Amino acid sequence: MHVHMLRFYKIEGSSRGGSFEDCMHLELVIKVVKNLTTRMQEDMPILEACKLFSPKHYPSEELLLEARSKQWLLQVLRQYGSLVESVEKCMGELDSFTTVLSSNFKHKSFRDAWEVCRDDIIMHDSFPNLMKLWEILSVVPVSTAAAERGFSCQNNIKSAHRTSMNTTTLENYMFIGLNGPETTSDVPWDDVFSLWSKKKRRFINVAT
């Protein structure tokens, strides 16, 4: 199991000593990291069961695929069975479902196959229960990378010089930091300026 290490660094320009005691929310952060480590174990059975929706992991032998797919489906149903119409209907859809995936998307991963199938009306009509399980599993967090990236982005934005920043502003800056262009050279500054200047009445002093 991978253990996520918490690292603490003194904020540049801060007058604080950089000790652990200076981190007001250290206890919360430690609990978050601990819970993420516990939840995201690499050997989680549900992650193995996700191979049901990843045709590139299908065994080439038909009998072996039939046995494995049933094992995977039963594992998924143990956790999310209450969210589908019935276990029996899921099992009834299974053989045809794996046949379709193995025939049409043989080398595709979980995500790649989902990108193709998610808007396919025929797939939803033919396999309503399995498609619902697939949709559920597609949003189950299987990595702490996003959370760690969020913490890092937050620390870069809300520094010792920005302690009065409100939650809404921080959220907006983090959205830009996480989803915006990687370099400032990719930003359409003229468009940004135009939108900013139209938001409210502003007095813009342009140096000549």
Most confident stretch, 11-15, 33-37, 91-95, 155-159: 91-95
Question: 150: which 2 tokens?
Answer: 């969020």
> How many angstroms separate the CA atoms of 46 and 53, rounded?
12
104-120 tens-digit pLDDT: 998 899 999 999 999 99
pTM over 0.85: no
How many other CB atoms are found less than 10 A from the CB of residue 147? 15
Greater pLDDT, 103 or 30: 103
Identify the band that residue 130 occupies on the pLDDT scale cut at 50, 70 and 90.
Answer: very high
Identify the band that residue 58 occupies on the pLDDT scale cut at 50, 70 and 90.
Answer: very high
